[in-house]
Copies of this chain bind each other. A is one copy, B any other.
Amino acid sequence: MPALSIVKNTAPEDVAFKRRPKNSVKGQQTKAAIVDAALGLATHIGLEGLSIGVLAERMQMSKSGVFAHFGSREELQVSVVREYHARFEDEVFQPAMQAPRGLPRLRALFNNWMERTAIEIDQGCIYISGAIEFEDREGPVREALVTSMTLWLTALNRAVVQALETGDLRPDTDASQVTFEMHGLILTLHYQARFMRSADAMTRGRTSFEHLLARCLP
């Protein structure tokens, strides 16, 4: 069942991206709306910029109203990471599962990731900003971020391995190395386009991927 593939092939404790039971449909909707607003804020100002107060203002709710849906600011931050993960899975991962295993699927994953990154050049990306904010900070927010990133890189790596198995890539290809380099070109593209405002970073990213594939073709 491709619907769970990012989550599959990981240790059980990593498959924790389930929401708590909700009290009511209305309560669920309100909570979802708060998380949506929080994610919108976090991409711009970072997860650490989030506060119950700022969100209450944005939602035109009382602080205690927002607080009722989350036991703590940390729980709110974790909910934002999980929501981001769910959207990333829907936009980047799932559509690529329609493509046949092997190079077509790997290309689809890369293209979808590039499209997502192109949007985030304007918006920011919590996988990148969160990595800086929580590099030294232990706790559930860091854990949620690392789990999410690990799930994604594992799913990507699986697509590379499948491309070896189908014979689309050379059998001696080091799949983890390919995954590492794909991650790298997205990070550089984001850095140079978003921070340095370089105009040709998207093209450079695509060129890097073609060089990477050319090296691994049979």
A residues contacting B by CB (< 8 A) are 44, 46, 124, 128-129, 131-136, 145-146, 149-150, 174, 176-177, 180-181, 183-185, 187-188, 191-192, 194-196, 200-201, 204, 207-208, 211, 215
Contact = CB atoms under 8 A, between A and B. Distances in A.
Given A44-B136, A215-B215, A177 B195 contact: no
Given A124-B136, A136-B44, A136-B124, A185 B181 contact: yes
Given A128-B132, A149-B196, A181-B185, 9 more contacts: A124-B135, A128-B191, A131-B191, A146-B195, A177-B207, A177-B208, A183-B188, A184-B208, A187-B188
A187 B201 CA distance: 15
Nearest to A44: B136
Copies held by the complex: 2
Consensus secondary structure, chain A interface = helix
A201 B177 CA distance: 10
A131 B145 CA distance: 19
Nearest to A204: B180
15 contacts: A124-B135, A128-B132, A128-B191, A132-B133, A134-B195, A135-B194, A145-B195, A146-B195, A146-B196, A149-B195, A174-B207, A176-B200, A183-B188, A184-B208, A211-B215
Contacts of A149: 195-196
A188 B127 CA distance: 13
B185 A150 contact: no
A134 B131 CA distance: 15
